A and B are shown apart, each in its own frame.
Chain A
């Protein structure tokens, strides 16, 4: 859902962890699986654009397939009784 907050933008690992509330120890394996499923593509920052002395960060972008798949997951969540109490959250990302 955090990815759908900005479906066309670049997402960074730590930022995703903060937005989604998922611990980084859980998040990175999820991102790896999504990469294998081709829901995400990844890339690295251009070192020439980095201010300060730090290594380039890795970013993730949703693919068309990923947007469709996550959209489908949200549709399912709407119908799932376990998420009845979270209509605002789902509507925000849907």
Chain B
């Protein structure tokens, strides 16, 4: 056999045999990990005639870039750059609207302890505001740390149980009695029980807590 045909044979095996499947497995990574198209396209490759596979795979690259990669990039940026949120100062709002915007007194805010539920104002970069309850976990001299105790209506990357760091100036309301206890004592969404200090089994399993 002509030795010069061996490289061509090898090239044909790579182009029509190995490369389409290999490249397609890379291309489908552009889709979200739970998108059924990841498995669908790999399975469909077997139905495509071998000689047409390189061109069919090239078509998938075009779709994956616009249908898969662009939405993923947009989601990654959402909440970090697009629709970024911050806490609004209750003190500043009260100064601006002393007759209509009530906030707890400094003594009441100083009395906040772990287990107390406080209300904060969350604002997105597009102006959307939601007032949500946070259960205080830790109190230090300069700031407080707590867990979101509400399901936001429209805040990407914000969910019940998410850790929130804030200052006393952000507090706009304080709920009646300090709460939460662990699942053994009472159902709760909290990751850590303020009564016995044990961690919620849902959080240990890696689940996102839902109220």
Contacts and interface: CB of A to CB of B under 8 A. Distances in A.
A58 B48 contact: no
Interface residues of B, number: 17
A55 interface: yes
Contact of B43 (A25, A42, A57): A57
Interface string A6-47: 000000111100000001110011001000000000100000
Instruction: Tell me if B's interface is mostly helix, strand, loop or mixed.
Output: helix
13 contacts: A12-B44, A12-B47, A24-B59, A24-B63, A25-B62, A29-B63, A29-B67, A54-B43, A55-B46, A57-B44, A57-B46, A57-B47, A58-B43
B36 A42 contact: yes
Given A29-B67, A42-B36, A58-B36, A24 B56 contact: yes
A13 B59 contact: no
Nearest to B47: A14
Contact of A24 (B36, B43, B46, B60): B60
Contacts of B44: 12-14, 24, 57-58
Q: A interface, how many residues as a size bin? A: 10 to 19
Contact of B59 (A25, A32, A54, A55): A25
B154 interface: no
Given A57-B40, A58-B40, A25 B46 contact: no
Nearest to B67: A29
Contacts of A14: 44, 47-48, 56
B43 A28 contact: no
Interface in B104-147: none
A56 interface: yes
Contacts of A25: 59-60, 62-63
A55 B40 CA distance: 9
Nearest to B40: A58
B98 to A, nearest CB: 50
Interface string B42-77: 111011100000001001101100010000000000
